[in-house]
A and B are shown apart, each in its own frame.
Chain A
Amino acid sequence: DTAVSQTPKYLVTQMGNDKSIKCEQNLGHDTMYWYKQDSKKFLKIMFSYNNKELIINETVPNRFSPKSPDKAHLNLHINSLELGDSAVYFCASSQDRGGGTDTQYFGPGTRLTVL
């Protein structure tokens, strides 16, 4: 009965490869997010989707492409991986009310290491 799940938990790959991270939430939330946490623990928003529609696309390289097949899933595909992409990626979801951002529920994170 995990609320927000991500797979895989760990991902080790070579530079130049393409990889995907999957995220699913069973909370019935309308909004899902991808965050990147760097080595200094700073957490930064990458994308947010509301009912499968892209709401926020922060200045993320277009090598990163989110895909939301339905409102319970938000996957992240990364092309041509670079060393600087190494980080922990968190998926989150929330049930926004009145345009505000309410409590967010986070997945366990995916630690990506690019060699």
Chain B
Amino acid sequence: SQQGEEDPQALSIQEGENATMNCSYKTSINNLQWYRQNSGRGLVHLILIRSNEREKHSGRLRVTLDTSKKSSSLLITASRAADTASYFCATDTGRRALTFGSGTRLQVQP
């Protein structure tokens, strides 16, 4: 299986609710990154958290990292219809490229 695996694969919520996505990985990392992909578009970087950090915030985004459990979570608070997209975690394991998971498809209903 892949280095990064997101859970759930798909998530449907109402506008205003919070959305939480989880990512698990297998090997040690330098950093973990979250990206967003709108349908038919390229990936856009959201946030990077380094292996010595436990939590990071950016606007309505909150990312946590637990290196002992090899897992990370992305929380989007007060979701909007415009947040509808696929979200990917990606790990930097020192091999000069990121390893991506298969993503979580988030649908925010207006």
Q: Which residue of chain A lies nearest to B91 when distances are taken between CB atoms in the complex?
A: A101
Instruction: Give every chain A residue within 8 A of B86 (Cβ-Cβ).
Output: 41
Are B31 and A100 in contact, with the CB atoms below 8 A? yes
> Of the candidates A31, A41, A55, A100, which one forms a contact with B92 in the assembled complex, judged by CB atoms under 8 Å apart?
A100
Whether a CB of chain A sits under 8 angstroms from the CB of B14 is no
Are B99 and A45 in contact, with the CB atoms below 8 A? yes
Whether a CB of chain A sits under 8 angstroms from the CB of B94 is yes
Are A103 and B100 in contact, with the CB atoms below 8 A? no
- Taking residues whose C-beta sits less than 8 angstroms from the other chain, chain B's interface range is 20 to 34
Whether a CB of chain A sits under 8 angstroms from the CB of B59 is no
Are A33 and B42 in contact, with the CB atoms below 8 A? no
The segment from A60-68, A69-77, A106-114 that touches chain B is A106-114
Whether a CB of chain A sits under 8 angstroms from the CB of B71 is no
Whether a CB of chain A sits under 8 angstroms from the CB of B52 is no
In the assembly, what is the distance between CA of A50 and CA of B107, in Å? 37
Are A42 and B96 in contact, with the CB atoms below 8 A? no
Instruction: Give every chain B residue within 8 A of A107 (Cβ-Cβ).
Output: 42
> Of the candidates A40, A41, A50, A90, which one forms a contact with B96 in the assembled complex, judged by CB atoms under 8 Å apart?
A50
In the assembly, what is the distance between CA of A101 and CA of B88, in Å? 16
